């Protein structure tokens, strides 16, 4: 008896030792095919770059990942924007504190102004076609 079953319809592996429980709960796949431990191990890992778990002939296979949707691209760009803003806030923190306490040097004030301008540019970036600004050197 093989230890695992693969379902092409759910793109999932099922532990054959738990088959009775799956059947009792109505979740055992009708299209399941037994696969070797080696096949399970191969396809239960992180897929190669640009691939996702799929099925060919009812057995697991790495297939080309679908192109991201416009919404997925926009969401990834929004995450990038948020990360860039968080990095900028971190870079500005000490100089902002010094400025509030009246202890900032002219160089620190200039650095803070550069980071504020950078943050404004990041916020204004078009998420559908981003051209990310370059972060200040300081």
Tens digits of residue pLDDT in 37-95 = 999 999 999 999 999 999 999 999 999 999 999 999 999 999 999 999 999 999 999 99
Q: How confident is the model at residue 138 (pLDDT cuts 50, 70, 90)?
A: low
pLDDT for 30 equals 96
pLDDT tens for 88-131 read 999 999 999 999 999 999 999 999 999 999 999 999 999 999 99
pLDDT band, very low/low/confident/very high, at 1 (cuts 50, 70, 90):
confident
- Count Cα atoms within 13 angstroms, Cβ side, for 55: 16
- Going from the C-alpha of 73 to that of each of 26, 65, 121, 123, 132, the distances in angstroms are 37, 14, 20, 17, 15
Say what the alpha-carbon torsion angle 116, 121, 123, 126 is, to the nearest 10 degrees: 180
Domain residue extents for the chain: 4-64, 70-124
- What CA–CA distances, in Å, run from 116 to 24, 31, 74, 105, 110? 61, 58, 24, 16, 10
Q: Distance from CA of residue 26 to its chain's centroid?
A: 32
């Amino acid at each position: 008896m093989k230890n695992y079953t693969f379902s092409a319809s759910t793109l999932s592996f099922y532990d054959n030792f738990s088959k009775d429980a799956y059947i009792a709960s109505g979740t055992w796949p009708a299209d399941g095919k037994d696969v070797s431990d080696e096949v399970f191990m191969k396809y239960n890992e992180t897929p190669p770059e640009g691939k996702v778990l799929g099925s060919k002939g009812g057995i697991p296979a790495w297939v080309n990942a679908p192109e991201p949707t416009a919404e997925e691209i926009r969401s990834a760009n929004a995450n990038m924007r948020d990360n860039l803003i968080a990095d900028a806030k971190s870079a500005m923190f000490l100089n902002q504190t010094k400025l509030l306490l009246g202890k900032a040097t002219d160089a620190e004030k200039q650095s803070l102004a550069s980071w504020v301008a950078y943050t404004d540019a990041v916020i204004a970036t078009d998420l559908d076609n981003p051209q990310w600004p370059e972060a200040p050197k300081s």
